[in-house]
Chains A and B, each alone.
Chain A
Amino acid sequence: MPGIEKTAPRRALSAGRSSKMGLPGPAFALILIAPCLLLSVAVIGYPIFDVIRMSLFDVSRTGVVREFSGLANFAKAFADPVFLQAARQTVIWTVCVVAGTLLVSVPIALILNEDFYGRTIARTIVLLPWAISLAMTAVVWRYVVNGDFGTLNMTLAALGLPFENYPWLADARMAFLIEILIGILVSVPFTVTILLGGLTSIPESLYEASAIDGAASTRSFYYITLPLLWPFMQIALVLNVIYVFNSFPIIWIMTNGGPANRTDILITYVYKQAFAFGKLGNAAAGSMVMFAILLVFAIVYLFLTRAQGAKNDD
């Protein structure tokens, strides 16, 4: 990653000879790109460097970087049972939310791709959770499932069900399950958007051809829709893994990782280490672990999109 940053501008400069004609030379193109690159390198590149440095050094509570400590921060993190618990929970969180999202999104995308009355309204409603801040979604749901005053219990009670004062978030398992369901809810819009993009790119003539060939609609689903949708599902999968893995507000606001760290994931762990306990070295080590995992996902994503781009070019 830092390697990319370094080589890109250098190669650019050596090739940068501008034409005298007023036609855009590579140097001019670089001038246009420079602000974008500078902003990105400064705001994203520098913190990466800083986090790497902190993870390898002994850092005081106030953030003074003291002596080099090798992998001590990492060793400390891996020895911390809360870290390991958070890591385990991160896997559960990511796998459940992503799998659930795809499971829900594929049928929804298929339905929304049909031509029916009110489709635009239905699409708008499905995409609605995307428009709202995750933080606010979390706040509202925290109220919805509130045991004493929430609207969920109010509705269930009105239906005659025995949930009068059921404290949904008090039990860690139940709380985590609810957070996972909300995670699915907010990931569906983006996923449906990608899948719909894929579905609309399947030419109608393919279905007509297979209908003429006498294929039933379930068969054309298996032989046409699914194979053509597959690359989009892969991309949605990888992007969702990245987004969900990184997702902070839902858990932070609804349960703050509690009760007893049983809903903590790596990102909330890191945040607490840094801003609640002032263990910056620990936090940096945790960040680096996450960063490495993300980088793997990013490379998988690049690989997938490149492969697909190459296929599209044929």
Chain B
Amino acid sequence: MASINLTNIRKQYGAVTIIDDVSIAIEDREFVVLVGPSGCGKSTLLRMIAGLETISAGTIAIDGEVVNDIGPQRRDLAMVFQTYALYPHMTTAQNIGFPLKLRGASQDEIGRSVAEVANTLHLDALLDRQPRALSGGQRQRVAMGRAMVREPRAFLFDEPLSNLDAKLRHHMRIELRQLHKSLGATSIYVTHDQIEAMTMADRIVVMNRGKVEQVGTPLELFDKPANVFVAGFLGSPTINLGNATLAAQDGSATLEFHAGSGPIDLANVPPSPHKEVVAGVRPQHLEVVSPEGVKLTGTVDLVEHTGCETNVILSVGSEKWTVQSRTRQHLTQGENVGLVFDPTNLHLFAADTKERIRW
């Protein structure tokens, strides 16, 4: 098992910078998830760690040893590809045993290890089949087995669940998590699915356009997003964001949304140099009340019932906001309603830098 340190990593294709000065320290036994929108460079970064892409600048160290110039063969990492990349001409047993065979293990040894892994992954009955005769979930497990069989220093996953249906994905998520618990192997997991990120990660790395936006535990990221991008990327439905003006006077403050609201009183806001802010409230933290005497109001556009939750989509000034509520809401379109929230759940970001205002 191993720690992995990325220091000032950069990747360029010609003049285009794909990965821009990324530094991440991954501890031994940690399960780190890389998330970010499509094309932000997650796969590229993972492939650089694996040794499949060259590094334009910076260093990658595994257990303190710089591996920039070491080929993928000798980094002793395992990788599960999005396409699984099972060898079509080999059976399940041969696929799983391949890494051991390359290391010159005896037939006996290979047989034993393969049986053990197959047992863990419930593949015993499928050992003689070729990949084309396996279902998506089974293929995914064979790919896992091939990664597990040689106890690598770390596991790399590139969206391994994206080809599965929702139910199987949920199931595999739990299995992967349990597997990680029992093996305790350092893992880097790429996904663009925020549920996977939130539920599986010890720590999440949020990337955008080749840069790291924030690193932290799932709840840290959810509760204290470092900037507008992270706030908007995590959480479903998406956080409500609005430009607002912050007016602070000795110990207390008021917030006025540009979209149209009266000054809302905020207690406990420390004096802040920022006057112009982006304010965010998660849909779960908003409550619909009668509009009388409320500073923030909107008109109902749409009410969605998902069963346990109700999503109310409203127009606040020219912006669309969402409120998520656990109680059934009986509202009609065009109805004017008031919105209230607990100021401790408010997120404030500087309007110019989009960075979080700490408080």
Contact = CB atoms under 8 A, between A and B. Distances in A.
B282 to A, nearest CB: 44
Contacts of A21: 51, 54, 68-71
B182 interface: no
A21 B48 CA distance: 11
A22 B54 contact: no
* Main SS class of interface, A: loop
B318 interface: no
B353 interface: no
A22 B80 CA distance: 21
B73 interface: yes
Interface residues of A, number: 5
Nearest to A19: B54
B54 A23 contact: yes
A22 B73 contact: yes
Q: Which has the most chain B C-beta neighbours within 10 Å: A19, A20, A21, A22?
A: A21
A221 to B, nearest CB: 39
A98 B51 CA distance: 54
Contacts of A20: 69
Interface string A12-38: 000000011111000000000000000
Contacts of B71: 21-23
B297 to A, nearest CB: 51
A20 B69 CA distance: 6
Contacts of A22: 51, 70-74
A23 B51 CA distance: 8
A20 B71 CA distance: 9
Contacts of B70: 21-22
Contacts of B69: 20-21
Interface string B15-54: 0000000000000000000000000000000000001101
A21 B71 CA distance: 5
Nearest to B70: A21
Contacts of B52: 23
B305 to A, nearest CB: 40
A23 B50 CA distance: 12
Interface in B61-83: 68-74
Nearest to B69: A20
Interface in A13-65: 19-23
B223 to A, nearest CB: 41
A19 B52 CA distance: 12
Contacts of A23: 51-52, 54, 71
A21 B52 CA distance: 9
A19 to B, nearest CB: 6
Nearest to B53: A23
Contacts of B54: 19, 21, 23
Contacts of B68: 21
A266 to B, nearest CB: 48
Nearest to A25: B54
Interface in A61-113: none
A18 to B, nearest CB: 11
B355 to A, nearest CB: 37
Nearest to A22: B71
Interface string B72-103: 11100000000000000000000000000000
A23 B74 CA distance: 12
A20 B68 CA distance: 9
Contacts of A19: 54
Nearest to A23: B54
B95 to A, nearest CB: 24
A246 B70 CA distance: 53
Nearest to B51: A21
A9 B74 CA distance: 33
A275 B201 CA distance: 80
A21 B72 CA distance: 8
A17 to B, nearest CB: 11
B352 to A, nearest CB: 42
A292 B35 CA distance: 59
Interface in A224-265: none
A23 B67 CA distance: 13
A23 B54 CA distance: 8
Contacts of B73: 22
7 contacts: A19-B54, A21-B54, A21-B70, A22-B71, A22-B73, A23-B52, A23-B54
| 7 interchain residue pairs of minimum CB distance | A22-B71, A20-B69, A21-B69, A21-B71, A19-B54, A23-B54, A21-B54
Given A22-B70, A22-B71, A22-B74, 13 more contacts: A19-B54, A20-B69, A21-B51, A21-B54, A21-B68, A21-B69, A21-B70, A21-B71, A22-B51, A22-B73, A23-B51, A23-B54, A23-B71
